Amino acid sequence: MKKNFVFISLLTLGSFAFTGKEFPSRYTFKKDHIYELLQTSTMTQYIAVAGTEQTVSYTIKGGMKLKTIEATGTSGKFEIEYTSLSMKIKMPQMEMDSEGDTTKPANKITNKLISAMLRKKFNFTLAKDGSVASVENIENLWSGLNNQDPVMMQMKGQLEQSFGKEPFRRSLEEIFVFYPDTKIQTGSTWKKISSTGSTLPLQISSEYTLQSITEPSALIISDGQISTTDTTKVINAQGGFKATASLKGRQVVRSTVSATSGWPESGKLYSEVKGKMILLAGGQIPEDMPMHMEMKTESEFTLVKK
């Protein structure tokens, strides 16, 4: 799901004192600490419109190096780069695989584009509560591309929907657990409302629960309801069409975190969104056209301090 969001937080939680060791519900940062992040994500999109059906799937695998370059009591600034990256897209009558047979033109250009994104450094700032305060210099990902190649530029435009500033920000916030501004213990819950980071006008109302603590790790579950904030907002759909959307769904993230630092160690995400979009009359569409849409995303990650 493409992402473009304004971050708003709403907290409701019990203020419990630990009987024993207090759970660290705040991130702390130290300069020059290095982390390795490995992530695999698969998104499947089903569309039914004008008597036709189409299913498209995307699988992205990436390895990233994160280095703390600035550390304060309230935030940490990181330098990040992709150390490995691959992408596979399955569409009706066509597949693109950056690790596939490069004698096939689609695979060759995908491989070239993905390879150009490796080792390009950019930055993000993580607040102590786990929210991403900023993503900077992400345009460096595209610095090695040939801007005169129209096919490459078209592919870049599509990739920016997954690797742009707002999608990347949201992806990070799905990895770094959001913590409340109070002490927590097993059974504590707290809430956050945020945009999905998509061009679609969607928001997630998430409830976090510190499910269990089993030294040296703890389990935190985020259960979020996805809803449309404005069913009349006109958005840009693929193909240059204008559209409105009315969608809803659910997102669940199970995060294993360190019981001593609160930093994430591994996690799994599942989300499902379905509903209707209306392609608005104009151009090749003589009248408004309803389109049924379903999107499912599964993702998992590991984060290791080196």
Report all structural domains of the chain as residue ranges with CATH numbers, in order of start: 7-305 (2.30.230)
Give the model's pLDDT for residue 146: 67
Residue 24 pLDDT level (bands cut at 50, 70, 90): confident
Residue 21 pLDDT: 53
Q: What pLDDT is attached to residue 3?
A: 40
Q: Residue 93: exposed, middle, or buried by beta-carbon count in 10 A (0-12, 13-18, 19+)?
A: exposed
Mean pLDDT of 198-213: 92
pTM of the model: 0.87
State both tokens at 297: 């995303």
Q: Say if residue 18's pLDDT is above 50.
A: no
DSSP code, position 239 = G
| pLDDT for 4 beyond 90 | no
Question: Letter for the amino acid at 299?
Answer: S
Residue 168 falls in which region: left (phi positive, over 0), alpha (psi -120 to 50) or beta = alpha
* Confidence (pLDDT) at 177: 97
Buried b / exposed e over 126-150, threshold 16 CB at 10 Å, is: bbbbbbbeebeebeebbeebeeeee
The mean pLDDT of the chain is 88
Name residues whose C-beta falls within 8 Å of residue 53's C-beta, 6 or more positions apart in sequence.
Answer: 46, 47
Q: Let me know how long the chain is.
A: 306
pLDDT score at 20: 40
Mean pLDDT of 179-197: 91
Q: What is the pLDDT of residues 95-104, one digit of tens each?
A: 999 999 989 8
How many CA atoms lie less than 13 Å away from 7 in the CB half-sphere?
Answer: 15
Averaged pLDDT for residues 229-255: 92
